[in-house]
Structure 1
Amino acid sequence: MPIAGLTPLDTLMRKVRVRTHGVEYRTVARVISLENLSAQWRPELRFLVRAADAEGITKVAQLRSAGLTNLISLTSSLHVADQWQAEPVVETGGILMDEDVVAFADHMNHAHVLYRYTDQHHTVFLTNRCNSYCLMCSQPPTKQDDSWLVNEAVEVANHIASSPHTLGFSGGEPLLLGEHLRLVLDTFAHQHPSTRYDVLSNGRLLANPIYAEHMLKGLSERVTWMVPLYGHADFLHDFVVQSPGAFEETLAGLLNLRRFGQAVQLRIVLIRPVLENLAALCEFIGRNLPFVREVALMACEPIGFALANPELTDIDLREWSAELSHGIRTLKRAKIPAILMNAPLCALPQILWPYAHKSISDWKRTFAEDCATCRVKTECAGLFSWHHPGKFSMKIQKIEGIINV
């Protein structure tokens, strides 16, 4: 469940309780063990060096005195930390591991984990501002100036040691960053050329051909744009995103993505007004947007604006299995791949299981008690951590047997 008092930044950036000394400004650093420091040290980076005891902190202090001022000690011993008030020391519960990238400062009670090396899913948060106000938005937008996140994203790119297979960029609406978004994309592509990148964007600003050219021309071919479409007509899509004119802008943006050879995943969040018109939407996509790489049909995340609009967003997908099956068949006839995301297998008819993906990020995925003995738990997407058993329409029921189909 959402934690009272947390800001949007806290929600998207995992927090680890810390106590710091001597770090005045918010600082990004790579976590590293003392043993591995020599192999990874670079003068332009900052390192949070894990020191198990006073001897380790003494060694870090000696290295700092010798000129390696980009080192900061990290210890899980409060007793050891209290002995070193004059040195930069971060105290934590031992959760941070080698090659994690974190941000911290004296005025912060927690460190934000910007990149966790052991995760299967990686996301860089770029802004909480948005030009849409979707009925089911999991991260309601704010208007505060958060442009500092661009510089921090560049720092993350520089501090990641091992390039991940895939990394996503999210908001808010990343396109609101303009040329700064292109800077972030180019920096990551340069630092991590083997990584594939997913940009979660409503695509609306790409309707401007000049903006689209500046953003897309020469962009890495390893970028995929994940763009939502919620209706086959303007009044449907514009209602869901609560922004008049968004439908036409989104379509124009999609055509410009096609013009510059960009890969596109269309995203359809399965709320009531979308499901009621899913057949027509899939027909529209097949006729007018055959160039998209795939279409993702996504169960609604029960957080944010979705909680304020339960009559539209609280859905039991079992009641809509016919619509889902018809929509996927329509896309299949158009030779457009379809995938199902964020839905536990028990909420889907077995015939649709081959389309279901384990899409919920590992750090925010959980399972209900009934899932413990489920036959298909290892193949299931699971639930969002803020799912309340019994509170939402979608009920969880363990699978005890499987019929081969």
Structure 2
Amino acid sequence: MVRYISEYKSKYRIFIFSTKEIYTKELLNKQKNVGEFINNKIVFYPDGETVKLSPKEIKIMDEFCDGDVLEISETGIIYRWYSVIEGDAGIATTPKCNSNCIMCPASDGERSHNTGLSLEQLETVIKHMPEDLWYFTITGGEPTLIGEDNFIEIYRTVKEHLPNTNILLLTNGRTLGNYSFFEKFKKENMKNLRIAIPIHGSIASKHDYITQAKGGFEQTIRGLTNIINANIETEIRIVVSKLNEDDILDIAKLIVAKFKRVRVVHFVGLEMRGNCAANADKVVISYEEAFSKSKKAIQLLMINGIDVALYNFPYCMIERGYWSLAKKSISSYKAEYYVECDKCKMKSMCCGIFTATRNFYKPRVYPIKGDNE
């Protein structure tokens, strides 16, 4: 849902949302930008610019909480970078990517036409995040494509402003296979950092077909090797689709053979938007089938002492013995539940289904009501 203030025709801003004068003063004392919602208007500090709100826009403001980190564009469109309630926090350094995965939830247009924020704007977002965050994600596109020096500067800003926060870097790993860049990057503070990299196929031809990037497999393997050898916590992700459903076990065998020191492997269900929706006939696989095709791989990894988790898999679509692996991985603004889900005893812990997926096709749900169901 697009949120905007129709009367706003001013500069781009990043600010912390406030509904209390005393909280606004506290933030201003810390030299933060503030948007104070009070008396049916919003006042932007430190300059004091005031914008009156329509009844519809007042309802939009009611969706935000004190402490949420927001941006507003020159045309009044609002985006939330951090939600106090959801706890999700992170930045996308750039929409650009050096791969073009067939099942990517982003589209070609999103990657090529969206320029993203400037380095200064990204640093402002970071500096407005609460310093006691538990988790912060750096992603893209491919986050390193903002430029080697700019990426390192962004990473350094995150570590300086959030010194005790766990940092997750989501990357395809290809640039980390570049020796000179990796040597420069690993000189930074690696404490509390985890790097997550996907492997889409067990061999180059399968991986590179899915990423549509010739040579990507070898670069990714070099990147994984570099970060593991540098003792940086590593996560591998396997996005399960029709394209690799019969290769999942071989991907697990590759991980056991080459990357046994990996911290965790996440099996990921599809989000039906962008390239994934455009290539639905090639990629779509049900959650149940994706889980079934992954079972032997999950067992192999666990037998070899590698932790496993399931992302984007509703409880009712995986076997009961694997429920402990399922994570509530879908952000609340992207997740939906069926009316039938209200009857399910696992709803509060379940990830639900992507709104985009449900809009594309409607997976059947099976509400879990008792110990034997």
Q: 1:158 aligns with which of 127, 135, 140?
A: 127
Count of residues in correspondence between the two structures: 369
Q: What displacement does 1:228 show?
A: 0.4
**What pairs with 1:138-149 in structure 2 (closer than 5 Å)?**
138-141=105-108, 142-144=111-113, 146=115, 148-149=117-118
Q: 1:395 corresponds to which letter in structure 2?
A: R
Q: 2:271 aligns with which of 287, 301, 319?
A: 301
Change (3 A) 1:378 1:145: closer
Q: Which residue of 2 aligns with 1:280?
A: 250
Structure 1 residue runs of 4 or more that deviate by more than 6 Å after TM superposition: none
* Pairing 1:130–2:100 present: no
* Pairing 1:17–2:25 present: no
* Pairing 1:237–2:207 present: yes
Change (3 A) 1:72 1:101: farther
Give the unaligned 5+ runs of structure 2. none
Of residues 70-79 and 163-172 in structure 1, the stretch that sits farther from structure 2 once superposed is: 70-79
For residues 237-290 of structure 1, the C-alpha deviation after alignment (integer angstroms, 9 at most, x for no partner) is 111111111110000011111232211110000102222111111111011111
Q: Which residue of 2 aligns with 1:396?
A: 365
Query: Quick one: distance in 2 between partners of 1:78 and 1:370?
Result: 33
For residues 26-49 of structure 1, the C-alpha deviation after alignment (integer angstroms, 9 at most, x for no partner) is 111112221312222237432112
For residues 310-355 of structure 1, the C-alpha deviation after alignment (integer angstroms, 9 at most, x for no partner) is 2332112323544322111100122111111101111111121111
Q: 1:379 aligns with which of 349, 364, 367?
A: 349
Change (3 A) 1:101 1:121: closer
Q: Which residue of 2 aligns with 1:167?
A: 136
Change (3 A) 1:35 1:320: closer
Of residues 246-255 and 274-283 in structure 1, the stretch that sits farther from structure 2 once superposed is: 274-283
Change (3 A) 1:223 1:15: farther
TM-score, normalised relative to structure 1: 0.84
Matched position secondary structure for 1:272: coil
Give the unaligned 5+ runs of structure 1. 1-13, 82-89
Q: 1:95 aligns with which of 40, 63, 68?
A: 63
Matched position secondary structure for 1:131: coil
For residues 212-252 of structure 1, the C-alpha deviation after alignment (integer angstroms, 9 at most, x for no partner) is 11122223311111100011110111111111111100000
* Pairing 1:51–2:41 present: no
For residues 354-404 of structure 1, the C-alpha deviation after alignment (integer angstroms, 9 at most, x for no partner) is 111111112211101221111221221111122327825x42222233349
Matched position secondary structure for 2:194: strand
CA RMSD of aligned residues (A): 2.6
Change (3 A) 1:311 1:19: closer
Matched position secondary structure for 1:279: helix
Q: 2:223 aligns with which of 253, 265, 277?
A: 253
Q: Which residue of 2 aligns with 1:30?
A: 16
Q: Which residue of 2 aligns with 1:112?
A: 79
Query: Quick one: distance in 1 between partners of 2:291 and 2:25?
Result: 56
Conserved in 2, the CA contact under 8 Å of 1:115 and 1:156?
Answer: no
Q: Which residue of 1 aligns with 2:294?
A: 324
Q: What displacement does 1:93 show?
A: 4.0
Query: Quick one: distance in 2 between partners of 1:19 and 1:274?
Result: 46
Query: Quick one: distance in 2 between partners of 1:327 and 1:156?
Result: 39
